[in-house]
Amino acid sequence: MDISLEELIKKNQNNKLNIIDIRDQYSYEKSHIIGAKNIPFSKLMREPESYLNYQETYYIYCYSGNTSQKVVHILHARGYHVFNIQGGFKNYLLRK
């Protein structure tokens, strides 16, 4: 249920992956992974069916990867196809 940032970048050559940033809107607007959609943690956990489709695959990240790992575990148990981006946004910043 985890994917490395390197694997994600290789898979996302055409920017068509469903990447979700679960940080707050302010943090997202400041900077985010290119192509990511912002769905704050509380909204996503309250009503995932409003944002996710069981037939799609989603790649989720937070700042460090810890919260997103928990979210992925819960969503996976509910039947969603989700992956945690290892190291989160912090890893993305270090790679730049």
Q: Report the pLDDT averaged over residues 48-70.
A: 97
Q: Report the pLDDT averaged over residues 67-85.
A: 97
Tell me how many domains the chain contains: 1
Residue 53 structural domain: 2-95
Q: What pTM was computed for the model?
A: 0.94
Q: Report the pLDDT averaged over residues 37-55.
A: 97
Q: For all residues of the chain together, what is the average pLDDT?
A: 94
CATH value at residue 68:
3.40.250.10
Predicted confidence band of residue 96 (pLDDT cuts 50, 70, 90): low
8-27 burial, b if ≥16 CB within 10 A, otherwise e?
beeeeeeeebbbbbbbeeeb
Give the angle 38-45-19 at the CA atoms, nearest 5°.
35
